[in-house]
A and B are shown apart, each in its own frame.
Chain A
Amino acid sequence: MKIENILNEWGIIITIILIAIPVIVASIIVILRANTVVSNYFKKKELEKFNEYIKDLHPEEVQKLEQRKKELEFALSNNELAGETTPIDTKGLINHVSQVEALRFIEQKKKSQPRPYIEPQLSKLILWYLGCATFWLVFGTTVGEYLGIKFVAPDVDHYSWLSFGRLRPVHTNAVFWGWASLAMMGLAYYVIPRVSNVPIASIKTGYRSLILINTSVIIGSICLMAGINNGGGEYREYIWPVMALFGIGILISLRNFFKTIAKRTNKEIYVSNWYIISAMMYLLVIAFVAYWPGWQRGLGETIVQGYYMHQGVGMWFMLFNLGLMYYFLPQQLNRPIYSYSLGILAFWTQILFYTLIGTHHFIFSAIPWWLQTVAIVGSAGMIIPVVAGTTNFLMTFKGSWNKLSGSYTLPFYLIGIIFYFTGSLQGTAEAFRFTNLVWHFTDFTVAHSHLTMYGIICFMLWGFIYTIVPRLTGNEPPQITVGAHFWLALIGLIFYSFPLMYGATLRGLMWMDGKPFIESVELMAPYWMWRAIGGSLMWLSHILFAYNFYVMVRRKEEIIIPESPIDILKAKLELDKQTITNK
């Protein structure tokens, strides 16, 4: 691959086009926005002039307008046939009346339902969490997208701060601790007070936690790019003082949640809280064990690394998200969870088996053979919680499948649940000694981690966010961009992971065959290209998600110049009132 003709490569061209599309779309959006601002400005000027004019309106003119208003407002009473009696709907039979007025190009999905009152301060806190999370999603995946391009064009830049080895952990840590963690925490601030039936103990603590976590990810990312890292363990690349900020952030929120649960007015502790509180406790345990700066010589480091990275994924992200799912899914479907006991079974078996499986990342390595076997057994045991959880969710869905097509949130839930099943079981399959032989060290692991962290965690989080934000702000996202987000993310993920898994399998077989290593690098080239293409689609979907989020939280401000007699009179009335109060 000569560097000068890399731009003649079809794949590069496709990737560049794919990257250019969102940039072009974004510029169009920017231009449209700017246009509105400018025209708003001119309209404002016009409005001022008009107001001057109607202030000095001649009484005769006013009279004429009033006359015309009366005429225009004339209408039939609509009671000509029905008479004066008001119809009564004592049994509440007429409900959710919807009317179709125009031809439908996009199927109209159900609007979000009004929900119990949330204090505005808490709303604001949750939106801050979700907003920061969205920022880290876009940031982290932009970095990820760039890394994917580097596989295809290793010489795109030669800056030390942007070199592959330094940027890779920036990507993983930003999406882990910035995006997913903050989104989960924000959603927990919604769920915990809801299921405990009391207000949150302290909103201030929520903000402190938010600031700590953001600071940790900002400093961490800069450190990594500057070449300051912890020595290579995956997801443990931040040095301990940086990770400590994150840990403190979680700790204070954990106390906050615990206090809230202690004050609960219902007797039971809903199963969501089991999962969420446990996930937070476990994160603190694993971070403490992995970061305590006084131990881990030699292979001790590797054993702890296996434990840490896998508990981070399974006991923090997965457990937390399952907890959120146990709240949101029944609530979205408007029916109770299929089986509470299955949820409890899944909870305890997940703890039992998941904790054991960390070292399955180091099979055949120099760590004790018995520990590797325990990890493999634990991975097989994971079938129990995964099957229990999936069954529970799908049985809750049962009888409500028709709701799926009419909702823009439920597809996210369903994909999350499906990937929960396939992704987790794929992890079990990968842990066996023979499959490990073929797939270990290849990009199969990368594909797997995206199928799970993206397919499960991200899809679930998006579903939850689209569920609650319209409730908090009263603004719905445009359904067409939600749909585009969903499809681009899903198709992108498939383009990303499937070719990568196929290529990685060939690569592993090649290694087993004893072929020269560089031939296996050559082999991967087209699959890395597909990864870059899939990655671009995923990235584009995140831009759409950010846009949707923005639409959901922005405050609308429209300037209307009164035109009809009614509006003009109204405006005059308002203005007159103002002049009186001003005096």
Chain B
Amino acid sequence: MEFFDNHKKLFRSALGLFLLLTLFVAIIPALNNQENNAPLPNYEPSSEEASLGKKSFIANGCVACHTQQVRNVDMDKMWGKRPGIAADYAGITRTDFWRNTATLMGTERTGPDLTNIGTRQPGLAWNLLHLYQPRTVVEKSIMPAYPWLFEIKNEIGKDDVEVIVPDEFRKGINGKIIAKKEALHLVAYLQSLKQTPLPEGKIPMEFLYKKKESPMSDGNKANLPDGQTLYTQNCASCHQANGEGLKGAFPPLKGSSIVLEDNLELFVDIIMRGYDAREEYAVMNAVGTDNNLSPEEVTAIINHEKTSWGNNAKTVTSDDVKKIMDYIKQASKK
């Protein structure tokens, strides 16, 4: 055929077909998307520290293991309150002339998704310790350590933030471990990662592929979810799987008076609104509220803590917990 034997015609048509398809599946949808989406009304542009932190997040290639997208499937529920939408990313523009836009959606979830990490784990002390050496707080973690974001000093300066590292992880280090500016920026960025709430009245997309509710068989535990799983998900990164906490950072729950005594109001209040009463430990965030825990889930966690690691206290019922939670909700609304 003439067509196949003429190099100009042949290669022009091959190129033309490809360009046409490119136009329709890449260029036009991309342009459409960037022109027709705006950030949500409640969107807060990030602070200067957070922007600098994002640059260091990019430079260290964190996106290789951490996604930032909540898909509209049920299994992604643990990463955010609602599925992500185009508007969530609309505020992100080119980093600079040399570097492309960084939506940092990622394609690998070797580590947890970070879309909502600022809500889930906002603690400064935890984040710094975790960056210095992830295995101090999460024993099984395989995340790289970032000791070069920290420096060793003999004296703590006026604005210095010290990181209390357990002895087994500070071999050969005699001075104080101080977070460099870069580490603080990086944490500021992580703290800024929060899902923007949808405008009043907007109903979020549904999560697809819902898990089938399995009937709870254990009659004794009054249909409560699995306390150990919930503890691992919500509490263990600070208080540790063995309930012993970390010296100088997170208090133990094993043998803790708050856990063992009968003051349920205080216990629920700490879970729902956080705690900052003891100077020797880091501030605890409002874990229950931040992670949207239900009364049943809170009850399961409390009962797990009351009966594990040698703790042996009376368990509580979800009705009692629910009453206290309702009261707390009302009180905080006022």
Q: Are B21 and A351 in contact (CB under 8 A)?
A: yes
Tell yes or no: B197 within 8 A of A by CB.
Answer: no
Known: A163-B144, A295-B34, A299-B89. A230 touches B99 (CB 8 A): yes
Given the complex of chains A and B, what is the CA–CA distance between A281 and B134 in angstroms? 46
> B20's closest neighbor in chain A, by CB?
A355
Tell yes or no: B273 within 8 A of A by CB.
Answer: no
Q: Are B98 and A240 in contact (CB under 8 A)?
A: yes
Tell yes or no: B152 within 8 A of A by CB.
Answer: no
Known: A151-B142, A268-B4, A303-B30. A297 touches B107 (CB 8 A): no
Q: How far does the Cβ of A266 sit from chain B's closest Cβ, in whole Å?
A: 9
Q: Are A514 and B10 in contact (CB under 8 A)?
A: no
Given the complex of chains A and B, what is the CA–CA distance between A477 and B78 in angstroms? 56
Contact with B along A259-295 (1 / 0, CB 8 A): 0011010011100001001100110011001010101
> B139's closest neighbor in chain A, by CB?
A1
> A347's closest neighbor in chain B, by CB?
B14
Which residues from chain B contact A285 at a C-beta distance below 8 Å? 15, 18-19, 22
Choose, from A91-99, A115-123, A199-207, A361-369, the stretch at the interface.
A361-369
Given the complex of chains A and B, what is the CA–CA distance between A233 and B64 in angstroms? 9
A355-376 residues at the B interface, CB under 8 angstroms: 355-356, 358-359, 361-368, 371, 374
Which residues from chain B contact A303 at a C-beta distance below 8 Å? 26, 29-30, 33
Q: Are B144 and A239 in contact (CB under 8 A)?
A: no
Q: How far does the Cβ of A8 sit from chain B's closest Cβ, in whole Å?
A: 16
> A520's closest neighbor in chain B, by CB?
B109
Q: How far does the Cβ of B10 sit from chain A's closest Cβ, in whole Å?
A: 6
Given the complex of chains A and B, what is the CA–CA distance between A168 and B30 in angstroms? 27
Q: Are A518 and B141 in contact (CB under 8 A)?
A: yes
Given the complex of chains A and B, what is the CA–CA distance between A163 and B208 in angstroms? 37
Which residues from chain A contact B61 at a C-beta distance below 8 Å? 163-166, 168-169, 224, 229, 232, 237
Tell yes or no: B193 within 8 A of A by CB.
Answer: no
A511-549 residues at the B interface, CB under 8 angstroms: 511-519, 521-522, 525, 528
Given the complex of chains A and B, what is the CA–CA distance between A359 and B18 in angstroms? 16
Which residues from chain A contact B236 at a C-beta distance below 8 Å? 516, 518
| A241, A304, A515 interface centre (most CB from chain B within 10 Å) | A304
Q: Are B72 and A1 in contact (CB under 8 A)?
A: no
Contact with B along A297-320 (1 / 0, CB 8 A): 111111110010000000100000
Known: A239-B98, A296-B94, A301-B100. A374 touches B25 (CB 8 A): yes
A209-227 residues at the B interface, CB under 8 angstroms: 224, 227
Choose, from A15-23, A391-399, A437-445, A488-496, the stretch at the interface.
A437-445
Q: Are B33 and A364 in contact (CB under 8 A)?
A: no
Tell yes or no: B195 within 8 A of A by CB.
Answer: no
Tell yes or no: A13 within 8 A of B by CB.
Answer: no
Known: A231-B99, A269-B4, A356-B21. A163 touches B75 (CB 8 A): no
Given the complex of chains A and B, what is the CA–CA distance between A425 and B139 in angstroms? 39
Given the complex of chains A and B, what is the CA–CA distance between A302 and B92 in angstroms? 12
| A165, A512, A522 interface centre (most CB from chain B within 10 Å) | A165
Known: A231-B102, A299-B34, A371-B25. A366 touches B60 (CB 8 A): no
Known: A302-B105, A441-B107, A514-B78. A295 touches B31 (CB 8 A): yes
Q: Are A437 and B101 in contact (CB under 8 A)?
A: no
Q: Are B73 and A296 in contact (CB under 8 A)?
A: no
Q: Are B211 and A518 in contact (CB under 8 A)?
A: no
Choose, from B79-87, B259-267, B306-314, the stretch at the interface.
B79-87
Which residues from chain B contact A361 at a C-beta distance below 8 Å? 107
Given the complex of chains A and B, what is the CA–CA distance between A262 and B208 in angstroms? 55
> A509's closest neighbor in chain B, by CB?
B75
Q: Are A231 and B100 in contact (CB under 8 A)?
A: yes
Residue among B60, B88, B91 making CB contact with A165, cutoff 8 Å: B60
Instruction: Give the 6 A-B CB pairs with smallest separation, nearest first.
Output: A165-B61, A227-B59, A231-B102, A441-B109, A364-B71, A300-B34
Query: Can you name 11 A-B residue pairings with CB atoms under 8 Å?
Result: A239-B98, A258-B11, A295-B31, A297-B94, A297-B101, A302-B89, A307-B25, A362-B69, A443-B108, A516-B229, A516-B232
Q: A: which residues have CB within 8 A of B? A: 1-3, 150-151, 154-155, 158-160, 163-166, 168-169, 224, 227-234, 236-237, 239-241, 258, 261-262, 264, 267-269, 274, 277-278, 281-282, 285-286, 289, 291, 293, 295-304, 307, 315, 344, 348, 351-352, 355-356, 358-359, 361-368, 371, 374, 437, 441-443, 445-446, 511-519, 521-522, 525, 528
